[in-house]
Amino acid sequence: MNLLENNMMVQNLQEQSSKKIALQKKASQLKKAKEDKELKEACKDFEAILLNYMLKSMRNTVEKSDILNGGLKQEIFESMYDQEIATHIAHSNKNTGLGDMLYKQLNKNGEKNGK
């Protein structure tokens, strides 16, 4: 093996190494983006749970009328309706901001811990 061939092999190995590092970096970025997206979704879902609890508590303060009392069917409908309203509010642009604040706090803590 002469010096020229040796230099070409070294250069080829360096190129392969740099490509491998770039691919590893890209994979790490994609993994972090996926984790961020999952964390955001979990925070929005948590906001929806709290909103649903709030709506349920608000509904319990209203007196039931004998005229409109539909019994168990109405209670099930109202429960499902409140859940959908809460989910819609939490995932819309006009939400309470609780999920966003929770995400920022958890993301900040994750970055401090070396994630």
Tens of pLDDT, residues 99-115:
999 999 988 866 666 55
pLDDT the model gives residue 73: 84
pLDDT the model gives residue 57: 92
CB 100 within 8 A of CB 45: no
pLDDT, tens digit, 9 for 90 and up, residues 52-103: 999 999 988 988 777 767 778 888 888 999 999 999 999 888 888 899 999 9
pLDDT the model gives residue 54: 93
pTM: predicted TM-score of the whole model, two decimal places: 0.68
Q: What residues have CB less than 8 Å from 14, skipping those under 6 apart? A: none
Measured distance CA(89)–CA(60) in Å, rounded: 20
pLDDT the model gives residue 111: 66
pLDDT, tens digit, 9 for 90 and up, residues 7-61: 777 788 888 888 888 888 888 888 888 888 999 999 999 999 999 999 999 988 9
Residue recorded with tokens 């920022």: 104
Burial state string for 69-84 with b = 16 or more CB within 10 A and e = fewer than 16: eeeeeeeeeeeeebbe
